[in-house]
Amino acid sequence: MAHLLEVEDLEVKFALRFGALTAIDGMSFTLDKREKLGIVGESGAGKSVTGFAIINLLSKPGYISGGRIIFEGRELNKLPDEEMRQLRGNRISMIFQDPMMTLNPVFTIGTQMVETLQAHRRIGKREAWDLAVEKLRKVYIPSPETRMHQYPFEMSGGMRQRIVIAIALLTDPSLIIADEPTTALDVTIQAGIMDLLQELCESEDMGLILITHDLAVVSQVTERIIVMYAGKIVETGPTEAIIHNQKHPYTKGLIASLPGVGEAGNRLNQIPGMMPTLTAIPEGCAFHPRCKMSEAVCQREQPKPMPVMDPGHFSACHFANSKEIVI
């Protein structure tokens, strides 16, 4: 069966005055209809860039320097601008982090929703309006008709994010990319938003890519997880496996550093050092300077993701299958 989305060896670079920096270095993954995939990593690992690359909305000086992105059978990065525009917000919708910044402060909700519909299909204002109200209902917004006439600043953060999700749903997309959708919201609201997203993916038959640094959120919602580090995939596999049976020292370190994982009273686990900036990516395995397991080969050769025990589980570590993962 053909995948909804196929990303093959994606490479994204930033063209700067003194040379090009590689933000994403050969990333490959697939996504099927109704599948929920999480992309996790620290800030700067390349997660958001992936999302923007898929819909070809990289801000200069970023550009796609290699690889293919195939969505519903079409190669996205080769599409002319106008066709790409027709896909964006239509077949693929994106949700950003801070709903206060995402919605235009000087237009009403109604205007912002209706224009999205009218941008993608021939539909009258009345009809578009009704459709928008329907979607607001779907995201459980009370009194949707009133909301349509309101401005973003008149609502709470959680409600705004629901509206953003409603906008994303307007055109019945096949894929939603959610870039840190709950980071700017209160913890108490987060759960509600995540539940909503999960429910909608089921009921609307959509694929979901959830980009976040929050492991707790990703473990509850997704079926598969990709872990990124310095622009590369270091481990990918079913959520269960990533959370409980890590096969890469970075992932293990990440899970171990979550509060609540260790015993009460103990110090928090930390991975020593910091993720390298784009200008200073080490030779060989990008993680080796911080890794307790590193040996000579790690400094020379960049590991490629290789399959480990569980089905669909891959790790980019030279010792994924041979040694026990130690942090």
Beta carbons within 8 Å of 83's beta carbon, 6+ residues apart: none
Nearer to other proteins, 176 or 228 (CB): 176
Q: Binding to other proteins by residue 151, rule CB under 8 A?
A: yes
Contacting residue, 75, 145, 154, 301, with other proteins by CB under 8 A: 154
Q: Of how many residues is the chain composed?
A: 327
**Considering only CA atoms, which of 210, 107, 200, 103 is closest in space to residue 160?**
103
Residue 228 CB, nearest approach to other proteins (Å): 21
Nearer to other proteins, 94 or 233 (CB): 94
Q: Binding to other proteins by residue 3, rule CB under 8 A?
A: no
Distance CA(178)–CA(267), nearest Å, equals 33
Q: Binding to other proteins by residue 128, rule CB under 8 A?
A: no
Nearer to other proteins, 2 or 123 (CB): 123
Give the binding range for other proteins (CB under 8 A) out of 71-79, 96-104, 196-204, 248-256: 96-104
Nearer to other proteins, 60 or 267 (CB): 60
What is the DSSP pairing of strand 314-315 with strand 306-307?
antiparallel
Q: Binding to other proteins by residue 89, rule CB under 8 A?
A: yes
Residue 280 CB, nearest approach to other proteins (Å): 18
For 251-255, the CB contacts below 8 A with 24+ separation are: 251/227, 251/315, 252/325, 252/327, 253/327, 254/40, 254/215, 254/227, 255/215
Output the CA–CA distances (angstroms, integers) from residue 192 to 14, 22, 145, 225, 318, in the order listed: 36, 36, 22, 21, 40
Contacting residue, 3, 68, 120, 213, with other proteins by CB under 8 A: 120
Output the CA–CA distances (angstroms, integers) from residue 320 to 29, 223, 293, in the order listed: 19, 22, 11
Nearer to other proteins, 104 or 220 (CB): 104
Q: Which residues from 30-49 bind other proteins, rule CB under 8 A?
A: none
User: Is the Cβ–Cβ distance between 121 and 127 less than 8 Å?
Assistant: no
User: Is the Cβ–Cβ distance between 232 and 26 less than 8 Å?
Assistant: yes
Q: Judge residue 260's burial from the number of C-beta atoms within 10 Å of its C-beta, 0-12 exposed, 13-18 middle, 19 or more buried.
A: exposed
Q: Binding to other proteins by residue 190, rule CB under 8 A?
A: no
Residue 99 CB, nearest approach to other proteins (Å): 9
Contacting residue, 42, 98, 127, 204, with other proteins by CB under 8 A: 98
**Considering only CA atoms, which of 73, 77, 55 is closest in space to residue 1?**
73
Residue 60 CB, nearest approach to other proteins (Å): 11
One-letter identity of residue 278: L
Residue 176 CB, nearest approach to other proteins (Å): 11
Q: Which residues from 67-86 bind other proteins, rule CB under 8 A?
A: 85-86
* Interaction site with other proteins (CB under 8 A): 55, 57, 59, 85-90, 93-94, 96, 98, 101-107, 115-116, 119-120, 151, 153-154, 164, 167
